[in-house]
Amino acid sequence: MGVELSGRFTAAAAEPLVDVSIVMPCLNEAICIAACIANAEEALRMIAARYGLGGEIVIADNGSTDRSQEIATGLGARVVPVATRGYGAAMIGGGMEARGQYIVFGDADGSYDFRESVAMIGQLMDGADLCMGSRFLGGIEKGAMPWKNRYIGNPVLTGIVNLIYRPGISDAHCGLRAVTAETFHGLGLSGSGMEFASEMVIKAALQRRAIVEVPATLSRDLRTRAPHLRPWRDGWRHLRYLFMLSPTAMFILPGLIAGAISLAIFAMAIVHALAPQLLAGTFGNYWQVGASAIGAIGHQALILGLAAHLYGVREGYRPAGRHARLLARFVSLETMLVSGLAAALLGGGVLAATIVSWTMRDFGPTYSVLPAVGGTLLLMVGVQNIFGGFLLSVIGGNEARFFGTQRR
């Protein structure tokens, strides 16, 4: 029965039984597997000669229907069946079963030279937590990577990773990488597909692990069938994962921008209301209605951003951070409820006054919708604060202080 992956992996690493584990995901690689195992064995001999470390080869089989498992077992590799399908699922399943203090991951299609992992093990022994291979530093054989991946997909996605998470690497998606067992088990990896490649780098950066890279070469693979990689589908999976793990980029920054725009429009509308000769004809009623919608959206985005950040802290793949800890001193369920109730009451009062004024004009037209729009926005923001406070409390472990307790 295969390893079935479910949810997030947080089990502590078992006591290492060997020094180095070379893990390869495998799905119908009968044509390539023997050559890859021979290459991995040569790498282990080099590691033993240079560092005095012993090792093993783990084949994380993802449901092969050819002779892959039989060939691997016959060549002395340890085959670990992984029931959950997907590149990331196979990698995680193999890593969970690895017995080494250091774990090397590489594809089982002959595209990577495991001898280049020798330098990676040296980097881990020198204190690195994660060592990435870089195909852009090492070289890419002609025809080994589609042009759209080489010149568009990988550079763009790696650039976004560096911009948001700052791991400081040139290739975030290289299939050859090495990680300490302690780091692997501490990252809480869960991506079942190709996004696993980004997830490992992102979570290592979030946890402020020491990340380094060494050159790696990419060769044409040995397969006669089409690769499992689907550039557009898997590229989108990578991209969405980059933003899903960044509350700042996904929620907080857009929320702050929306809030600033909304406040700017309302400020100009108030100036115009107090001094009609100023900004005449510039920010009328429709602008104010739009500003109200933008403000409500921005406020909701900020609450969602805080919720996403809190979830990451609770799940253990991101630290609370200085700003979050400072915010936690002032933001709690009670402060969210009090501020929400105050805003809702103020907004309701403004709307009530607007209705009274409307009746006093015999329900005639108004010259400005600013009071009605402003009151409605205050009411919406207040209600969002109240519901948002309870949401944050639930995510925070049913605690009134959201960052009061954290899962270890």
Domain boundaries, the chain: 18-244, 247-395
Residue 217 pLDDT more than 90?
yes
Q: Between vectors from CA 100 to CA 97 and to CA 103, what angle results, nearest 5°? A: 85
> Cβ–Cβ contacts within 10 Å for residue 18, how many?
15
Mean pLDDT computed over 159-165:
91
* pTM (two decimals): 0.75
Mean pLDDT computed over 29-38:
95
Residues 252 and 304: beta-carbon distance below 8 Å: no
The closest alpha carbon to 40, from 69, 67, 20, 26, belongs to: 20
Tokens standing for residue 350: 């403004």
Residue 165 to residue 245: CA distance in whole angstroms: 10
Q: Residue 226: how many CA atoms within 13 Å on its side-chain side?
A: 4
Mean pLDDT computed over 336-363:
91
- 3-class SS of residue 59: strand
Residue 405 — pLDDT band, cuts 50, 70, 90?
very low
CATH of domain 18-244: 3.90.550.10
Residue 368 to residue 270: CA distance in whole angstroms: 10
Question: Edge-to-edge strand order for the sheet containing 211-215?
Answer: 78-81, 55-61, 18-26, 100-105, 177-180, 130-134, 211-215
**Per-residue pLDDT at 226:** 58
| Residue keyed to tokens 């990676």 | 120
Residues 47 and 55: beta-carbon distance below 8 Å: yes
The closest alpha carbon to 194, from 151, 155, 145, 240, belongs to: 240
Residue 305 pLDDT more than 70?
yes
pLDDT tens for residues 67-92? 999 999 999 999 999 999 988 999 99
> Cβ–Cβ contacts within 10 Å for residue 316, how many?
17
Say which residues have a Cβ less than 8 Å from residue 290's Cβ, sequence separation at least 6: 265
Residue 155 to residue 149: CA distance in whole angstroms: 8
Residue 12 — pLDDT band, cuts 50, 70, 90?
very low
User: Percent helix, strand and coil across the chain, each rounded to 5?
Assistant: 55, 10, 35
Residue 56 — pLDDT band, cuts 50, 70, 90?
very high
The closest alpha carbon to 324, from 231, 248, 215, belongs to: 248
Pairing of strands 177-180, 100-105: antiparallel
Mean pLDDT computed over 128-140:
96
**Per-residue pLDDT at 310:** 87
**Per-residue pLDDT at 275:** 77
**Per-residue pLDDT at 13:** 45
The closest alpha carbon to 298, from 251, 242, 266, belongs to: 251
Tokens standing for residue 52: 């005095």
Residue 14 to residue 33: CA distance in whole angstroms: 28
**Per-residue pLDDT at 16:** 61
Residue 161 pLDDT more than 70?
yes
**Neighbour-count burial of 408, counting CB atoms closer than 10 A to its CB (0-12 exposed, 13-18 middle, 19+ buried):** exposed
Tokens standing for residue 66: 């050819």
Residue 135 pLDDT more than 90?
yes
The total number of residues shown for the chain amounts to: 408
**179: which strand partners?**
103, 130
Residue 312 pLDDT more than 50?
yes
Mean pLDDT of the chain, nearest integer:
87
